[in-house]
Structure 1
Amino acid sequence: MAVLNKRLVKLLVVTTVLAVIALIGSLLYAIFAPTQYQPDDNDLDSLFASQSQKVFESALPGKSVVLPADFAMHPDYQHEWWHFFANVKDTHGNEYGVQWNYFRIARDDLEHPGWDNSQLYFSHVVISTRDHVWREQRMARGGIGLAGLNAKPFRMWIDNWSWSAKDENPFPGRLSVNTDSFALSLKMEQTGQYVIPGEQGYQAKHNLMPVASYNIQAPFIKVRGSLKLSNNMPPVAVEGTAWMSKEWGSGLLAEGQRGWDWFVLDLDQDTTLTVSRFRHNLQLPYVFGTLSTRNGRVITLNESDVMITPLHMMSLANGKLVPLQWNISIPSQNINITTSVLNQHLWLPFALPYWQGPIYSFGTHRAHGFMQLTGY
């Protein structure tokens, strides 16, 4: 009996110690977990969807984008996101696609200090060739210095990834990304004017619902730098062209929205085309676009101008069916092109999962650019 009691005491002591360890672990996780925030699907629905209660500012017509002031962050709006796409070649003519995306998403409209800050930051970088893909994502919480944006001089960062410039304009600038397995360093110089699409930067994304954002585009960028694709190999010198976009608003997703299809195409050295197709349940897609030239001419395209049709559904390794070939026709501009992808294996399973990668076209224009497909 005495032996049994001793065993029970030992068991009680061990159980108590394990409980204390678990409690300490939970406390440590609560303190340090924000920098490794991993949202589940329900979190993403609430983070990316339009808000039913007006706690954030809404993107409304009649308000003009102002440069360079609007390169700063807009914490009164729920979302802010940057896209940078570059088509570059090395000295042997090998082609590379470079993608860098940066998201700021607010969980509420209050500026909480430190670890309780409501701003979440997501960023990912992708380098691709015809048969290889290098990719990585970073997540961080605002308020503790791990991510953010300084307006003057311009610097946007998350951990050791950064876009920096000498003044409040992002160009000329440098994009620097380092991961455990690959890295890139690109100098970026603007060779054409900024484009303010839509109505002075206001872009509606639905026929009936108040879903919209403000937008700035830089369609003409010259890039030069290096890609380090292996720890055992020296960096590869590259140069080429790039395109950048910044948007901000409140609500990436409308109620009943299934996703969007987005195309950026350099039709020639002086003309860039962007086309977006937002898909909704029980409604026709909402289509819009912009045709911009290096000298500053901007043509706004609406649904009656653009005919865009998916041609071929490709079955990916993850079982998803994704339309990787499209026809885009704009009769008023004598544009009729069919797009194809350079590498089909570019489904990106990040916080906001989508297919995104380099494309080329044939038809009236032998163009190159990028495509983003969400909601498949």
Structure 2
Amino acid sequence: MKKLKMQRKPTLLRMALATLVVAIVLGFCYMDFTRFGKQEPINQHAVVDMIQKHVFEPVLPDTAVTLPSDFRFHPDYQHEWWQYFANVEDEEGLQYAVQWSYFRIASDERKMVGWQNPQVYISHIVVSNETQVWKEQRMARGGIGQAGMTINPFRLWIDNWNWESLGTTPFPGDLNVATNEFSLKLHNQMIGPFALLGDNGYQPKHDLLPIAAFNISAPFLSVSGEMNLDGNKLIRVKGSAWMSKEWSSQLISQRQKGWDWFVIELNKSETLTISRYRHQDQMPYLFGSIISKTGNTIALSEDQISLKAMKSQILDGGKRVPLEWNIVIPEYSIDLKVTAVNNNLQLPFLIPYWEGPINTTGSHQVQGFMQLTGY
């Protein structure tokens, strides 16, 4: 697709402002301003208009996702998002959750090098158990070697955090993260196939507007390794994990309020994922998938799923977030009550959301993860 581009002389100030715009857009302008003495909404639609004037490649349904080549970066698209969840336990049976995110966001569509590179990188690491949370965020500029990726061998990095493997895909691969407070080294091995959700990896996120993303998921991972928390002795852990990658050119729609996302390991051979995108003055867009180790993926439509928030919690700072849910899919005998393992996982990052491990009761007594934005 041929693009018309305007030549302009970038300045460090303009790049800094563009980076701030991206951070505000990604955060849906739901930053908590109460600590400044007054809470006033920012005009998020004006910010969205500003950043969407740039020309990025559209996400089209006739573009097939191809493996392994689509594990690479896609700089013609505005953003890419790697998301990793792991439920692990130590040798004494104590359970921990690990969450790692890696974002590439383009402030505009130019292909520049060095300090004029428009790419911004953000990464989060969170470790939690029932009572404690360890977390940190990193940000980096593109073009100066502080963050980036290689495809052969596969490696994603930001500062001294990295995911690396010896091949052209992320698996088998190692997540290595070290902060001043904690560190972890986790080895991840595929025990099931990749899944292309939606239509061969093309996943709509609105029923009326052309908002969509490409998606690759790895829903069946075994994980083992070690963690060091608060300077204590090494904790050896093992468990299961999920990883996904998506890329797109539309951060949010004009009237999008947020989303709710659930990943639940129904059993050793099936994983359920449910997503709901909430829009102002419109019905939410709800969809899901049941992914099997055999390679079969069942797409779930809105009329097959009942998703209801049952109970909200008031968190520190006064934010009210629904942390108990009911998920019912009668056709597949799924009736789940979902509860958060640790309520204290409203993450105060540049991209703010509640994200953490969940337990389920009902038809399946299992574990998973939940991500909630826009509350």
Q: State TM-score, norm by structure 1.
A: 0.88
Residue in structure 2 matched with residue 12 of structure 1 by the alignment? none
Residue in structure 2 matched with residue 41 of structure 1 by the alignment? 24
Residue in structure 1 matched with residue 42 of structure 2 by the alignment? none
Q: Deviation string for 1:228-281 (max 9, x for gaps)?
A: 1022x1110000000000000012211100000000000011110000000000
Tell me, yes or no, if structure 1 residue 311 matches structure 2 residue 310: yes
What is the alpha-carbon distance in structure 2 between the residues aligned to residue 39 and residue 297 of structure 1? Answer: 37
Residue in structure 2 matched with residue 26 of structure 1 by the alignment? none
Q: Which amino acid is 1:262 matched to?
A: W
What is the alpha-carbon distance in structure 2 between the residues aligned to residue 197 and residue 39 of structure 1? Answer: 27
Alignment of 1:1-376 (within 5 A): 41=24, 52-53=52-53, 55-231=55-231, 233-376=232-375
Q: Secondary structure at the match of 1:266?
A: strand
Q: Secondary structure at the match of 2:167?
A: coil
Query: Any gaps of 5 or more consecutive residues in structure 1?
Result: 1-28
The list of structure 1 runs, each at least 4 consecutive aligned residues, that deviate by more than 2 angstroms after superposition, is 36-54
Aligned residue-pair number: 346
After TM superposition, give the deviation of residue 116 of structure 1 in Å.
1.4
After TM superposition, give the deviation of residue 53 of structure 1 in Å.
3.3
Alpha-carbon RMSD: 2.2
After TM superposition, give the deviation of residue 111 of structure 1 in Å.
1.5
What is the alpha-carbon distance in structure 1 between the residues aligned to residue 191 and residue 224 of structure 2? Answer: 13
Q: Secondary structure at the match of 1:292?
A: strand
What is the alpha-carbon distance in structure 2 between the residues aligned to residue 297 and residue 48 of structure 1? Answer: 37
What is the alpha-carbon distance in structure 1 between the residues aligned to residue 90 and residue 48 of structure 2? Answer: 37
Q: Secondary structure at the match of 1:304?
A: helix
What is the alpha-carbon distance in structure 2 between the residues aligned to residue 230 and residue 52 of structure 1? Answer: 43
What is the alpha-carbon distance in structure 1 between the residues aligned to residue 339 and residue 28 of structure 2? Answer: 31
Q: Is the 8 A contact 1:358 1:370 kept in 2?
A: yes
Q: Is the 8 A contact 1:37 1:139 kept in 2?
A: no
Q: Deviation string for 1:319-342 (max 9, x for gaps)?
A: 111000000011111111110010
Q: Is the 8 A contact 1:39 1:351 kept in 2?
A: no
Q: Deviation string for 1:198-218 (max 9, x for gaps)?
A: 000000000111110000000
What is the alpha-carbon distance in structure 2 between the residues aligned to residue 331 and residue 44 of structure 1? Answer: 35
Q: Secondary structure at the match of 1:284?
A: strand
Q: Is the 8 A contact 1:49 1:254 kept in 2?
A: no
What is the alpha-carbon distance in structure 1 between the residues aligned to residue 254 and residue 21 of structure 2? Answer: 24
